[in-house]
C-alpha cells in the first residue's frame, strides 16, 4: 500500500491541505478542476448575486451533474466493452472451430492423396499386366498360326476348327487394343 500524501492546493484563492493516497499531481488536478468550475460560475452575473450558501449549492450540484454524466458515460463504455469482449470471445471460438475444421480437411485431403497415389500405382500395375497379356496373346496367336498352317496342308477339314480359336484370339486382341 502506498503512503498517504499531504498536498497544499489553492481553491478559490484559499490554501487547503489535501490528504490522500493519490499522487500530488492528481490532487492538484482535482483542485484545478474545482477552480475552473468556480471561475466559470463567477463569470455569470446571476451566480454572483446569490449568497455564498446558494453559490456553494450550485457548485456542488454542477460537480455532481458532471460526476453522474461521466459515470453514465463510463457505464455505457463498460457495457460496450462487455459486448465487444463477448463478440471477441465468440469470434475466437469460431476461429478455433474453423482451424479444427481446416485441420480435419487437410488430414482428409492427405488421405485422399494417398488413396489416389495407391490407385495410380494399381492402375500402372494393371496396365503393365494388360500389356504383358497382349504380348503373350500375340505370341500364342503366332504359335497357333504356325501350327495351323502346317496342319492345313495335312488336314483341310481340321483347319475350319483351327480358325475358330484364331478368330477368337484376334477378337480378344482387338478388344484389348480398344481398351
Question: pLDDT 10s per residue in the chain (179 long)?
Answer: 578 989 999 999 999 999 999 999 999 999 999 999 999 999 999 999 999 999 999 999 999 999 999 999 999 999 999 999 999 999 999 999 999 999 999 999 999 999 999 999 999 999 999 999 988 888 888 887 776 665 555 555 544 554 555 666 666 667 666 55
Say if 68 falls within a structural domain. yes
| Region of residue 12 (left: phi > 0; alpha: psi -120 to 50; beta: else) | left
Say if 69 falls within a structural domain. yes
Say if 110 falls within a structural domain. no
Residue for grid cell 478559490: 12
Q: And the C-alpha cell for 178?
A: 480398344
Say if 113 falls within a structural domain. no
Work out whether strand 14-20 and strand 5-11 pair parallel, antiparallel, or are unpaired.
antiparallel
Overall pTM surpassing 0.85 (yes/no): no
Residue 27's CB is within 10 A of a number of other CB atoms, namely: 20
Say if 85 falls within a structural domain. no
Count of structural domains within the chain: 1
Amino acid at each position: 500500500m502506498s503512503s498517504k500524501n499531504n498536498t497544499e492546493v489553492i481553491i478559490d484563492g484559499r490554501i487547503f491541505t489535501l490528504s490522500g493516497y493519490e499522487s500530488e499531481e492528481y490532487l492538484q488536478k482535482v483542485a484545478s478542476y474545482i477552480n475552473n468550475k468556480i471561475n466559470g460560475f463567477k463569470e455569470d452575473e446571476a451566480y454572483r448575486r446569490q449568497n455564498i450558501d446558494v453559490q456553494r449549492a450550485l457548485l456542488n450540484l454542477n460537480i455532481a451533474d458532471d460526476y453522474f454524466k461521466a459515470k453514465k458515460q463510463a457505464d455505457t463504455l463498460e457495457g460496450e466493452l462487455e459486448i465487444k469482449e463477448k463478440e471477441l470471445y465468440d469470434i475466437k471460438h469460431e476461429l478455433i472451430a474453423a482451424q479444427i475444421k481446416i485441420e480435419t480437411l487437410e488430414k482428409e485431403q492427405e488421405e485422399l492423396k494417398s488413396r489416389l497415389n495407391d490407385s495410380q500405382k494399381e492402375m500402372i500395375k494393371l496396365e503393365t499386366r494388360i500389356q504383358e497379356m497382349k504380348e503373350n496373346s500375340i505370341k500364342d496367336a503366332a504359335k497357333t498360326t504356325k501350327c495351323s498352317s502346317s496342319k492345313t496342308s495335312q488336314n483341310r477339314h481340321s483347319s475350319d476348327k483351327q480358325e475358330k480359336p484364331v478368330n477368337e484370339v484376334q477378337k480378344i486382341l482387338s478388344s484389348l487394343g480398344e481398351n
